[in-house]
Amino acid sequence: MRYMMLIYTTHRPATPDEMAEVATAHRALMDETERLGILYSANPLEAPATATTVRRQPGKVLVTDGPFAETKEQLAGYYLLECRDLDEAVEWAARIPTACGGGQGCVEIRAIHEAGRDVPSMSGGGRARA
């Protein structure tokens, strides 16, 4: 099961040391998940102010500047990881640094929708966990 982990951060001034710490923590987490073979990709995103919104309308494509909505917490990056179930995804998400913008934020977890998946839709079922 692939899970998209969206990193939302709040922007506040941060010292270079603080930013370096966040970057180091990300590198460590990416190394670890890479080693385990569960990392599909992980990337930071450019600032929300550089976002472009594309909306398809009948007969035309509407392109506008800026993010879709103004919110306090803004999307700063993502991890795409292979996890057994939501519990494992939560464990990884809890280790993702969210201070990419200086202030603490949160991680939103979404399973990747897999069409035609014909396996029992719940995992577990008695498997022992460590």
Partner 1 sequence: MEILRETVEAVFRRESGKIIAGLIRISGSFDLAEEAMQDAFAAALEHWPAEMPENPAAWIASAARRKLIDYARRERTRRDKEDQLLYETNTVTREPDPADEASLMDFADDQLRLMFTCCHPALNQEAQVALTLRTLGGLTTPEIARAFLVPEATLAQRLVRAKRKIQSAHIPYEVPPRDALPDRLAPVQAVIYLVFNEGYTAAAGDSLIRRELCAEAIRLGHTLSELLPREPENLGLLALLLLHDSRRDARVTAEGELIPLDEQDRSLWDREQIAEGLQLVERALRVGTPGPYQLQAAIAAVHAQALFTDRIDWRQIAALYAELYRLHDSPVVALNQAVAVALGYDLKKGLAMIDTLGDREQLESYHLFHAARADLLRRMDENEAAIVEYDRALSLTENAVERRYLRRRIAELADAIMCGLCRDCASA
Residues in contact with partner 1 by the rule CB under 8 A: 1, 84-87, 89-90, 109-111, 113, 115-127, 129-130
Query: How far apart are CB 100 and partner 1 at their closest, in Å?
Result: 24
Sequence-distant (≥ 6) Cβ neighbours of residue 122 within 8 angstroms: none
User: Among residues 83 and 100, whose Cβ is nearest to partner 1?
Assistant: 83
Alpha-carbon span 37 to 82, nearest angstrom: 8
Query: How far apart are CB 96 and partner 1 at their closest, in Å?
Result: 17
Closest to 77 in 3D by CA, of 53, 94, 96, 62: 96
Query: How far apart are CB 53 and partner 1 at their closest, in Å?
Result: 26
User: Among residues 30 and 86, whose Cβ is nearest to partner 1?
Assistant: 86
Please, is 81 exposed, middle or buried when counting C-beta atoms within 10 Å of its C-beta (0-12, 13-18, 19+)?
buried
User: Among residues 1 and 45, whose Cβ is nearest to partner 1?
Assistant: 1
User: Among residues 37 and 120, whose Cβ is nearest to partner 1?
Assistant: 120
3-state secondary structure at position 61:
strand
Query: How far apart are CB 115 and partner 1 at their closest, in Å?
Result: 5
